[in-house]
């Protein structure tokens, strides 16, 4: 199997199995890579790269250039595209609109040293929805409606503009991203979809984490306490715990996210958590 990135396998979790049956929405964060599922496709890709090994991570930039060129667009459809989460191959990606297939090679980073993030919103495919190129995949197929790709540096700059906090640097952003996305896993449950939504769409989360860091309080845990009934809607409470390294001080902040539909949204602003339940 040819890989432009980490190549690790795992079996389907109970959450993935349930999603296959129930067709639940997925909001996942990881990194996009490409795989060759047949020897013929691997040789075709090698030829497009001028004989270079597609697995050579030092030539990722050349791989991206080759696959984003018009003459090699056919290859993009023949390859299998994988979302890797926390170093583990988790989903095969398939666009809901075939015209969006070109967004996949555009997600490959020319410089593998960049801390890149790919966010995918979609639904687990049933057996009859899987494209021929993915028919032999041993991972669940995620049919995506949206794919957003960015790096920690550009994300940090956008946060500086949005929050007005100039000290939010890429290293702090990357560390916060790693901490939170390490919790959210494959993005299948309502709790993890809510957290991934906040990670990507709620700048105040980073502003608060940065301000608390200046006070000597680091983000230590994320919990999901039971939310009050909301008239049939599915609302998740995301509870952030900040703890001081020098003493036992703990601060808790929470925010509610509605995850009833495909697109999560806020049900109120991030605020000090006063409830004990």
172 pLDDT exceeds 80?
yes
Q: Tell me how far CA of residue 121 lies from CA of 118, 220, 222, in angstroms.
A: 10, 27, 22
In this prediction, residue 210 carries a pLDDT of: 93
- The structure tokens 């039971």 sit at 226
pLDDT at residue 158, as a whole number: 87
Helix, strand, coil share (%) of the chain residues, nearest 5: 40, 30, 35
Closest CA to 196 of 146, 137, 138: 146
Let me know: does 267 contact 230? Beta carbons within 8 Å: yes
Q: What is the mean pLDDT of residues 99-113?
A: 81
The pLDDT of residue 171: 84
Q: State yes or no: pLDDT of 110 exceeds 80.
A: no
Report the predicted TM-score, pTM, of the whole model to 2 decimal places: 0.82
Of 216, 222, 115, nearest to 169 by C-alpha is 115
Average pLDDT over residues 90-97: 91
Q: Categorize the per-residue pLDDT at 8 as very low, low, confident or very high, splitting at 50, 70 and 90.
A: very low
- Whether the per-residue pLDDT at 69 is higher than 90: the answer is no
> What stretches of the chain adopt beta strand conformation (E)?
2-3, 25-36, 80-85, 88-95, 116-124, 141-151, 217-223, 235-244, 250-258, 265-266, 271-272
Read off the pLDDT of residues 145-169 as tens digits, 9 standing for 90 and up: 999 988 888 888 888 888 888 778 8
For the ranges 19-28, 37-46, 175-184, 205-214, the lowest mean pLDDT is seen at 19-28
Which pLDDT value is given to residue 6? 35
Cα–Cα distance, 55 to 62 (Å, whole number): 11
Lowest-confidence segment of 34-38, 110-114, 212-216, 242-246 by average pLDDT: 110-114
CA distances from 226 to 18, 67, 236 (A): 22, 46, 7
Does residue 130 carry a pLDDT above 90?
no
Answer whether 241's CB lies under 8 Å from 252's CB.
yes
How confident is the prediction for the chain on average, in pLDDT? 82
Q: In terms of Cα–Cα distance, which of 104, 103, 110 is closest to 62?
A: 110
Mean pLDDT for the stretch of residues 29-45? 84
CA dist., res. 17 & res. 21, Å (int): 7
Q: How far apart are CA 197 and CA 189, in angstroms?
A: 12
251 touches 217 (CB < 8 A):
yes
Place of tokens 């389907």: 12
Do 209 and 174 meet the contact criterion of CB atoms below 8 Å apart? no
106-120, 182-196, 222-236: segment of lowest average pLDDT: 106-120
Greatest pairwise CA separation for the chain in angstroms: 62
**pLDDT score for 232:** 85
Question: pLDDT class for 270, splitting at 50, 70, 90?
Answer: very high
Q: Pick 129 or 71 by higher pLDDT.
A: 71
């Amino acid at each position: 199997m040819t890989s432009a990135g980490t190549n690790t396998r795992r079996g389907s979790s109970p959450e993935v199995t349930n999603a296959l049956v129930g067709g639940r929405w997925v909001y996942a964060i990881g990194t996009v890579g490409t795989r060759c599922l047949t020897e013929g496709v691997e040789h075709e890709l090698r030829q497009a790269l001028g004989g270079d090994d597609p697995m050579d991570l030092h030539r990722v930039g050349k791989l991206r250039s080759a696959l984003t060129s018009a003459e090699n667009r056919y290859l993009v459809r023949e390859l299998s595209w994988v979302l890797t989460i926390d170093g583990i191959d988790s989903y095969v990606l398939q666009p809901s609109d075939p015209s969006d297939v070109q967004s996949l090679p555009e997600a490959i980073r020319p410089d593998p040293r960049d801390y890149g993030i790919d966010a995918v919103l979609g639904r687990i495919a049933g057996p009859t929805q899987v494209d021929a190129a993915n028919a032999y995949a041993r991972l669940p197929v995620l049919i995506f409606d949206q794919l957003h790709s960015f790096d920690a540096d550009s994300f940090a700059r956008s946060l500086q503009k949005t929050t007005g906090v100039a000290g939010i640097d890429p290293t702090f952003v990357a560390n916060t991203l790693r901490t939170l996305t390490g919790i959210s896993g494959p993005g299948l449950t309502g709790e993890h979809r809510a957290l991934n939504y906040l990670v990507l769409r709620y700048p105040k989360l980073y502003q608060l984490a940065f301000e608390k860091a200046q006070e000597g309080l680091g983000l230590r845990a994320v919990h999901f306490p039971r939310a009050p009934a909301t008239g049939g809607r599915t609302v998740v409470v995301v509870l952030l715990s900040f703890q001081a390294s020098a003493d036992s001080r703990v601060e808790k902040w929470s925010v509610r996210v509605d995850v009833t539909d495909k697109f999560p949204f806020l049900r109120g602003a991030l605020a000090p958590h006063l409830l004990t339940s």
